[in-house]
Amino acid sequence: MRFTQLLPLLLALPGALNAQPLSGNLTVDPGQAESSTNFTTVAGALSALSTRGVEGPVTFTVAAGTYSGPNAVTPVPGIQAKKAVVFRSASGNPEEVIWSQTAASSSDNYVVYSLSKHFRFEGITFQASGNLYALVLNLAADSIQFKNCRFLGKLNANANNTTENLVKIAGSATRFEDCTFSGGAAGLVLDSKDRKGTVISGCRFSDAASLNPIQIKKADGLIFSGNTVELSSSSVNFIGVELMNCYGALTVEKNLFRTGNGCAMRLSDCYGSDAGRLMIRNNMFYASGSSADQVLRLSNAQFTDVFNNTVYLNSPGAAVYTNDGQSIKLVNNLFINPGLGRAISVGNGNSVTDCDYNVYFSANQYRLASWGGTDAANLTALQTANGKDSHSLVKNVTFFSGYADLHLGTGSSDLAGLSLAEVPDDFDGEIRSGSPFRGADEFSGTYVSVRDGSQGEPGGFRIYPNYPNPFNPSTAIRFYLPVSGEVRISVVDLAGRLVETLVSGYRAAGEQSVRFEADHLAGGVYFCRIESESGSGAIKLILLK
């Protein structure tokens, strides 16, 4: 072939290479030249995915900086579970990689709008920086995951406008792990039929404007676990988490809810079954406002188990309220109201099939509880009204650090409850004893060893037992950081050899969790070490195969 014939092919070669499907490790770095492996903008990387597709797994490492939106993710040719796309911040610190958008109208009211499944985002901040529009995520596809991300929006006077919600989900199998949500009329909204596999774990929700931080409707088998919901609103109509028309084996466990005058969590028209009951277990609910009506409210809940929760309210309202429903079980809970209200109020007594081993308290000597419209001044009157509660107690429970920390304090030795197979551990992942304590905390007198064998202090670094343990093939490892900073989490074998590094980088202050996937390892004993600027510790992991 003559050179004059070869020249057009050589000139066409770069374009041909740039048209090849993407695969492997790529970067998004505006400080580097555009190339076959580097994109200078997020928009450019997303455009390449949409036009070129993928032929294998793709990971984009994103350099520190602010990247303007909006970013529309159209369907990616060739993408599937084994050919997923990951966008990951280079440092792991979400404060250093910010995807932002200042929307001018409802048509561009998003930072990311996704129509493509099998995406994962790690260590990235999604921020709405405008004054009128707050939506940062609009997810219309399945199997999208977020880990250690931040979602930030404005708090506006016009907060009832749905254009100011923070995150909107209309897909299945969406996962949020160790993420932060702040702002918006609502922090997270899931409102679509038959959406399965949604998991929200280890996340922090705060400062929504006037509606619900979390609104979840029609979810099938939702898992809401290990989250912190902290609300500063003084509105009595404020609801932290609202679950409506949900069904399947929904699980709400090991969450911490703190609110002012609003309701921490409300279940409305949620339907379990004998084969898949709704489970509310090991949660701590706290309302400090003197005008709060209820902390935990069940409205027409069907086949629902409320086991080992700690519910505290200091107001004329009721710590827990149920009305209508079917086959509700209330066992091993602490319902505490040192105000002038009731510990519990049950509108329809026939909806509750099991109610026992609970602890009640109200400072109002005339209204400990209400059952079927009848006030009960004391436990005897309550037992007469409901024909249940034969093992329940009336006691003003002492907590570890006042009411700011609802772990049990001294004087809790008489709170042994009923052993339940559905509650093998407690709020912190500590294994329950044969005679487990009532409420969310399995009392040990103090926190588990966290600093070089010493006892932990309230508000200090803590590492909790993993759950489940033993496990196969994965387990969740939870810990608490009093301040943000660098964290290293590693797994070693019995000989001290490094097996895997789970985390090496920046983590925000607060309760955190990380999942250890061990399907590639042989069964046996391993140790997880957590090292941070504020403390360190280790726990034993038992992998059964």
Q: Answer yes or no: is 1 within a domain.
A: no
Residues 201, 225 within the same domain: no
- Residues 48, 39 contacting (CB under 8 angstroms): yes
The answer to whether residue 453 is domain-embedded is no
Q: Would residue 259 count as lying in a domain?
A: yes
Which residue is associated with the tokens 């091993």?
332
Total domains in the chain come to 3
Q: Do 140 and 268 belong together in one domain?
A: no
Same domain, 255 and 152: no
Written as six digits, the tokens of 110 are 């998003």
Q: Count of H helices and E strands in the chain?
A: 3, 49
Examine the domain organization and report whether 171 and 307 are in the same domain: no
Give yes or no: residues 403 and 510 share one domain.
no
Q: Considering the domain boundaries, does residue 14 fall inside one?
A: no
The rounded radius of gyration (Å) of the Cα atoms in the chain is 25
Residue 528 sits in which domain range?
462-543
Measured between alpha carbons, how far is residue 253 from residues 4, 130, 185, 200, 250 in Å? 71, 35, 25, 11, 10
Alpha-carbon gap, residue 1 to 6, rounded angstroms: 7
Instruction: Report the relative pairing of strands 150-152 and 180-182 from DSSP bridges.
Output: parallel
282 and 357 co-located in one domain: yes
pLDDT of 126:
93
Q: CA–CA separation, 188 vs 495, rounded Å?
A: 44
- Residue where a domain stops, chosen among 166, 182, 214: 214
- Contact (Cβ atoms closer than 8 angstroms) between residue 194 and residue 222: no
Do residues 290 and 343 share a domain?
A: yes
Residue 7 located in a structural domain: no
Query: Which of these three, 155, 190, 214, is where a domain ends?
Result: 214
Letter string b/e over residues 237-255, b meaning 16 or more CB atoms within 10 A of that residue's CB:
ebbbbbbbebbbbbbbbbb
The span from the CA of 196 to the CA of 198, in Å, is 6
CB atoms within 10 A of CB 80: 12
User: Is residue 424 included in any domain, yes or no?
Assistant: yes
How many angstroms separate the CA atoms of 154 and 135, rounded? 9
Residues linked to residue 402 through DSSP beta bridges, in sequence order: 400
* Together in a domain, 143 and 225: no
Task: Write the Ramachandran bin of 505: left for phi over 0, alpha for psi from -120 to 50, otherwise beta.
Answer: left
Bridge partners, residue 374, by sequence: 371
Residues 178 and 310 in one domain: no
Please list the residues that pair with 168 across neighbouring strands. 138, 189
Task: Please calculate the CA angle 450-452-454 and round it to the nearest 5 degrees.
Answer: 65
Provide the whole-model pTM: 0.80
- Rounded Cα distance between 196 and 432, Å, is 30
Cα dist. 290→100, 257, 295 in Å? Answer: 39, 17, 12
- CATH number for position 69: 2.160.20.10
**Which one, of 264, 246, 263, 247, lies nearest residue 255 by Cα?**
264
Whole-angstrom Cα distance, residue 298 to residue 135?
A: 29
What is the chain's pLDDT, residue by residue, as a tens digit (545 residues)? 454 454 444 444 444 446 799 999 999 999 999 999 999 999 999 999 999 999 999 999 999 999 998 888 888 999 999 999 999 999 888 999 999 988 888 788 888 888 888 999 999 999 988 777 778 888 888 889 999 999 988 765 454 566 678 888 887 888 999 898 888 778 888 876 666 788 999 888 876 545 567 888 888 888 999 898 887 655 556 788 889 888 888 999 999 988 877 788 999 999 888 888 999 999 999 887 666 778 899 999 999 999 999 999 988 889 999 988 999 999 999 999 998 899 999 999 999 999 999 999 999 888 999 999 999 999 999 999 999 999 999 999 988 766 667 888 777 788 999 999 999 988 877 788 888 999 999 886 544 432 233 334 445 677 877 777 788 888 888 888 888 889 999 998 877 789 999 999 888 887 788 889 998 999 888 988 888 888 777 788 888 87
For 76, 80, 268, the CA distances from 84, given in Å and listed in that order, are 10, 6, 36
360 within 8 A of 373, measured Cβ to Cβ:
no
Are the CB atoms for 139 and 174 separated by under 8 Å?
yes
The answer to whether residue 6 is domain-embedded is: no
198, 214, 230 - which closes a domain? 214
Residues 179 and 33 occupy one common structural domain: yes
The answer on 156 and 27 residing in a single domain is: yes
Do 284 and 345 lie in one domain? The reply is yes
3 state DSSP class of 70:
coil
- Does 499 reside within a domain? yes
pLDDT confidence of residue 436: 93
The CATH number assigned to the domain holding 536 equals: 2.60.40.1220
280 forms beta bridges with: 252, 306
Q: In three state form, how does the secondary structure of 370-412 look?
A: EECCEEECCHHHHHHHHCCCCCCEECCCCEEEEECEEEECCCC
Give the whole-angstrom CA distance, residue 501 versus residue 485. Answer: 17
β-pairing, 352-356 vs 326-331, is parallel
Asked whether the beta carbons of 462 and 456 are under 8 A apart, the reply is yes
